[in-house]
Amino acid sequence: MVGADVSGVPSDGPMSGPDVQATFCATLVDEWVALGVRHAVIAPGSRSTPMALAIAERPDVALHVLHDERSAGFVALGLGLEGTPALLLCTSGTAAANFYPAVVEAGLSAVPMLVLTADRPEELRGVGAPQTIDQIELYGSHVRWFADPGVAREPERDGWRAFAGTAFARAADGPVQLNLPFREPLVGSAAPLPGRVTQAPTVDGSPARRDEVPEGFDRQRGVILAGGRSGVDPADVARLRELTQWPVIADPLSGMRGLDGAVTTADSLLRHDRFATDHVPEVIVRIGRPATSKTLGRWCDRAVDEYAATLVQVGGPGRIDPGHNVTAVCSIADLLAARPAGASGTTWAPRWANAESQAEAALSAALDGGGLTEPSAARTIAAHLAPDIALVVASSMPVRDLEWFGGRAARAHANRGANGIDGVVSTALGVALARGSAAVVVGDLAFVHDTNALAGLAQRRTDLRIVVVDNDGGGIFSFLPQATTLAPDRFELLFGTPHGTDVVAVAEAHHIAARTVTTADELVEQLTQPGPWVARVPSDREDNVAVHRALHDAVGRALG
């Protein structure tokens, strides 16, 4: 029986080639299931038949078939956010190339993923065989490990489980590519599988370098920047804040906006020149990734460049230092062990808390009870989406509106590794498949870019709630200098990019319920409904720029 652990001896007589391939694939899948894999995403094709059949034989693996490889890759990414890699399988040729954006994002965001690219055997490579490209190390440095074991051979059966275990172990913090060549005929029958070895697989590699806590770390004027995908326990961040009384400027992607001392209005506060100057920090502890706010980023750069502030990175993924101003990369344990006193007993924390209170009151007065704008939509979703429903936001204006105006309730995932808008709906679909439900907020361009995620969604009956902020184009570009320095027609052609797509009609064409909502009450009511559905929030790009300016100005007036 496929999937059962047996004696470890092959059946009588040598197996045929197709049966060896079938047994090889069944063994790999059996080992991965034993290690915790519960989801597989398959983009259909012929060359991947042996592995597809092995996966489909397993009732303990949830099988998700998607026709578009790019969408499939991001679904696997969303599934991997739970911490266990999903299997991601495709046939040979350009199918594997279409996984590339999702593999890049998984690599930069340290999301587990087992990428299985079927391939032609050695004798069909480089000779013009159809549906064949060079798949060797296709994803370069974006994967944690690459392996091409060659066509399966029966004498190697005793090493198959170790091979699967090594791949699983190396995928713990990012994608792994296994390039698996199969020779025709592709359909075989699995023989009894090699027995399991209970010893856990080991992975060679030196631990990431950590620096000592730098001199001058324990100073009064400090801030803690909490970002996403850090791998740092929020309880440790809360402990650091308790010791130092430094404010925690928390990105919604960090999940730390509920911490005592959290600041959620930093983008608006730091646009006020006097406040920004009066509160330049001496120490910056950045947990994980930087926030999306350029205002916050420039303020931190200014602190380092002009005031010689100490910037310490804690958590990953990897060293993140685009400004070349990180003083040290330390562990949270080392910072806590130093027992810094920070701003304890000073007015530093109350000053930040008072400014946060003033800014939040100004934003509430401006946003609550008015018409449904892009910022108020983000705030409404943050405040009213049930906490047990995961939220995904696009890496353009939706993530910024949630960061700037979402308040303490704001929390989400965004693909901020490569900051692309591709695959956002598919990522949310993967999250929904893993958790049972999810919501996603995207702009119209991100929605149109990923409409293949809608294929088959109605039949799956997956609880995916899709909010599309529709300003008919690339709204984020209206905030850039190009919008005022280029002629309007040139700007619209190259950046505004209106497409005229009817979002509601696209959803309905995929048999998904859809409607336009124009008030906060309508949006709140829609958020309570199980998906799949699409809710369109209409907006105007030019008006949206004015709305954002008015909100920041309101905070400026509140600060005086």
Determine the average pLDDT of the residues in 140-149: 97
Report CA torsion sign: 490, 493, 495, 499: positive
CA 277 to chain centre: 34
What is the residue-wise DSSP string for 20-54? HHHHHHHHHHHHHHHHT--EEEE---STTHHHHHH
- Which two three-digit tokens encode residue 529? 């409904």
Q: Which fold has domain 222-354?
A: Rossmann fold (3.40.50)
Q: Do 158 and 23 form a contact (C-beta atoms < 8 A)?
A: no
What is the structure's pLDDT at 4?
40
Bridge partners, 178 (sequence order): 116, 147
Give the mean pLDDT of the chain. 92
Highest mean pLDDT among 7-21, 357-371, 427-441: 427-441
- Predicted pLDDT of residue 161: 97
The three-point CA angle 511-516-518 to 5° equals 165
Q: 522 burial class (0-12, 13-18, 19+ CB within 10 angstroms)?
A: middle
> Tokens 């803690």 sit at which residue?
224
Q: Which residues pair with 515 in a beta bridge?
A: 535
- Compute the average pLDDT of residues 403-430: 94
Coil, helix or strand at residue 500 = coil
Please give the backbone phi and psi of residue 295, each rounded to the nearest 5 degrees, phi first.
-60, -45
Confidence of residue 324 (pLDDT cuts 50, 70, 90): confident
Give the separation between CA 552 and CA 538, rounded to whole angstroms: 22
Q: For residues 253 and 229, is the Cβ–Cβ distance under 8 A?
A: yes
Contact 168, 83 (CB under 8 A): no
Give the residue-averaged pLDDT of 234-258: 96
**Confidence (pLDDT) at 474:** 82
Q: If DSSP states are collapsed to H, E and C, what string results for 139-171?
A: CHHHCCEEECCCCCCHHHHHHHHHHHHHHHHHH
| pTM for the whole structure | 0.93
Percent of the chain with pLDDT over 90: 80
Q: Would you call 560 helix, strand, or coil by DSSP? A: coil
The pLDDT tens digits for 87-123 are 999 999 999 999 999 999 999 999 999 999 999 998 8
User: Exposure pattern of 389-428 as b/e (b: 16+ CB <10 Å)?
Assistant: bbbbbbbbbbbbbbbbbbbbbbbbbbbbbbebbbbbbbbb
Side-chain-side CA neighbours of residue 531 (13 Å): 27
Residue 200 confidence class, pLDDT cut points 50, 70, 90: low
Q: What is the pLDDT of residue 60?
A: 97
Distances (CA, A) of 415 to 66, 96, 229, 492: 20, 20, 10, 26
Residue 491: the pLDDT is 75
Per-residue pLDDT tens for 440-463? Answer: 999 999 999 999 999 999 888 899
Model pLDDT, residue 2: 38
pLDDT score, position 199 = 64
* Residue 325 structure tokens: 């101003």
| Residue that is written with structure tokens 């998984």 in the block | 106
DSSP string across 394-440: -TTHHHHHHHHHS-TT---B--TTT---TTHHHHHHHHHHHHSEEEE
Distances from the Cα of 160 to the Cαs of 8, 26, 196, 246, in angstroms? 11, 10, 10, 52
Q: Which amino acid appears at position 244 of this protein?
A: T
For residue 331, pLDDT beyond 70: yes
The DSSP symbol for 499 reads -
Lowest mean pLDDT among 2-16, 215-229, 393-407: 2-16
Domain ranges in the chain are: 17-181, 222-354, 368-559
Q: Using CB atoms within 10 Å of the CB of residue 310, give its burial: 0 to 12 exposed, 13 to 18 middle, 19+ buried.
A: buried
Note whether 205 and 36 are within 8 A (CB).
no
Q: Are 193 and 251 in contact (CB under 8 A)?
A: no
Give the model confidence (pLDDT) of 65-92 as tens digits.
Answer: 999 999 999 999 999 999 999 999 999 9
Alpha carbons 350 and 247: distance in angstroms, whole number: 9
pLDDT in tens, 159-168: 999 999 999 9
The answer, yes or no, to whether residue 8 has pLDDT greater than 50, is no
Domain 17-181: which topology? Rossmann fold (3.40.50)
State the average pLDDT over residues 48-54.
Answer: 97
Answer yes or no: same fold for 17-181 and 368-559: yes
Query: Which residue from 273, 216, 224, 212 is spatially nearest to 249, judged by alpha carbons?
Result: 224
Structure tokens at 111: 């999301």
Q: Which residue has the higher pLDDT, 120 or 39?
A: 39
* Cis status of the peptide bond prior to 317, with omega within 30 of 0: yes
DSSP state letter for 124:
G
pLDDT tens digits for range 486-533 = 888 887 878 878 889 999 999 999 999 999 999 999 999 999 999 999
Residues 378 and 401: beta-carbon distance below 8 Å: yes
CATH of 368-559, one of 3.40.50.970, 1.50.10.10, 3.40.190.10, 1.10.540.10: 3.40.50.970
Q: Over the Cα atoms of the chain, what is R_g? A: 26
Name the strand (E) or helix (H) holding 552: helix 541-559
Q: Is residue 359's pLDDT more than 50?
A: yes
- Poorest-confidence range of 162-171, 183-192, 229-238, 468-477? 468-477
Query: Residue 14 — pLDDT band, cuts 50, 70, 90?
Result: confident
User: Which comes out higher in pLDDT, residue 448 or 324?
Assistant: 448
The pLDDT tens digits of the residues spanning 266-294 come to: 999 999 999 999 999 999 999 999 999 99
Q: If we measure between CA atoms, which residue out of 258, 396, 246 comes closest to residue 314? A: 246
